[in-house]
Amino acid sequence: MQFKRGFMMKVNDLNMKEIAKLAGVSTATVSRVLNHSGKVKESTRKKIEELIEQTGYRPNVLARELAEKKTNLIGLIVHAMTGEGIPKAVNGLNEQLSENGYSLLIAGSNGIFENEMKQIELFRQKRVEGMVFATRQFTEEHEKIMKKLPFPVVILMQDTDSAGISNAGFDNFQLAKEAASSLLSLGHRRFAYIGGPESSDSAVLRENGVKAALKEYGVYLRPALQKRGSYHIGDGYTLMKQILNEQEKPTAVLAGNDGMAVGAVNCLLQHGYRVPEDVSVMGLDDTDLAQASIIPLSGVQYSYTALGREAANMMIQGIEAGELLYEKRILPHNICIRQSVSSI
């Protein structure tokens, strides 16, 4: 019974054979007009096309893919569609892939390793042609597994120096260093940093970047003025408050992301400090949140959409070349100073 499922009955389950019969030709000819391959007499082409039009016949992509051994499918594993970055990257990725005839199969892992493995297994069975991996942790275990995959893999927003795996991302070390430098160059010396969690690779890189800048300027980052949060607005607020309890207040605060920067600004304002007159505040990205700040926030601009696009390009290139060369593509960033920052 192929009609068990109601909707099946509504499907125009015509196949090439039936179209061929109606047209009085063979399936080969129908296939030819469908794929614009080979020569077909104008009149028969017309006839077949009309028939297709009338009957609403559409080729079964599954069968085609099976025959062609090509699925045009790219798998994407994400922690989840949270934050502003991932969704935007997905937009770019999807647009670029779609324009090149690929479809995106998305899978959320919630950051759980077994889920990731399960999804990868599914991808293998579905014969995806490539995979984009955009989660928060990329361990050696991951690396080992990915390198054995029978299709190209592109890691998003994570650094890997492993040969055989490509990655696209931002230069977290450098952008953090530049941001810190921009504050230092304005004369700030009493410097506070509210960074992201140690468990995040990018947060560690950003922290190192900040420290590198401070070192260049010969500025000592007092441990009491260095905090770590989980990128939430509330963390920025709480950690800023802790910092304000210190003897020596900072004149500049750099936060690991916009959210914590906004939290810091709110905390400062509510405790009677002026921004930027008393304290300059800067974040390390430039999301919509930055616009929510009552004081136009300084930060670092970079495009997640472009990142997604870039990853798609690497992917397509890898698929078409038959192998993905080891590549590390860094997307540009741009320091953006607004009202929340002033010279001392």
Partner DNA sequence: TTGTACGCGTTATCAG
Partner DNA sequence: CTGATAACGCGTACAA
Tokens 């607004």 -> residue = 338
Whether a cis peptide bond, with omega within 30° of 0, leads into 250 is no
Q: Looking at beta carbons only, is 17 or 126 nearer to its own copies?
A: 126
**Amino acid, single-letter form, for residue 32:** R
Would you give the binding string for its own copies spanning residues 202-231, x where CB under 8 A is met?
------------------------------
The angle at the Cα of 83, spanning 81 to 88, to the nearest 5 degrees, equals 70
According to DSSP, residue 3 is labeled T
Sign of CA dihedral 295, 301, 307, 309: positive
Indicate which single residue of 21, 28, 38, 61 sits in contact with its own copies (rule: CB under 8 A): 61
> Is residue 87 part of the contact set for its own copies (CB under 8 A)?
yes
Q: Taking CB under 7 A as the criterion, which residues in 43-82 touch DNA?
A: 43-45, 57-60, 63-64, 66-69
Burial (0-12, 13-18, 19+ Cβ within 10 Å), 229 = buried
Indicate which single residue of 5, 26, 98, 122 sits in contact with DNA (rule: CB under 7 A): 26
Radius of gyration of the chain (CA): 27
Give the pair of three-digit tokens for residue 294: 């009552």
Would you give the binding string for its own copies spanning residues 288-317, x where CB under 8 A is met?
xx-xxxx-----------------------
> Is residue 29 part of the contact set for DNA (CB under 7 A)?
yes
Burial (0-12, 13-18, 19+ Cβ within 10 Å), 85 = buried
Q: Looking at beta carbons only, is 21 or 118 nearer to its own copies?
A: 118
**Amino acid, single-letter form, for residue 65:** E
How many residues sit in the footprint of its own copies (CB under 8 A)? 68
Q: Looking at beta carbons only, is 226 or 339 nearer to its own copies?
A: 339
DSSP 228-272: E--S-HHHHHHHHHHHHTSSS--SEEEESSHHHHHHHHHHHHHTT
Q: Which of 134, 171, 167 is nearest to 318 (CA)?
A: 167
Q: At its nearest, how many Å lie between DNA and the CB of residue 75?
A: 18
Per CB under 8 A, residues contacting its own copies are 2, 4-8, 10-12, 58-63, 65-66, 69, 71, 80-82, 86-88, 90-91, 94-95, 98, 103-108, 121-122, 124-127, 129, 150-152, 232-234, 259, 262-263, 265-266, 269-270, 288-289, 291-294, 318-323
- Where along the sequence are the contacts to DNA (CB under 7 A)? 13, 15-17, 24-29, 31-32, 34-35, 37-45, 57-60, 63-64, 66-69
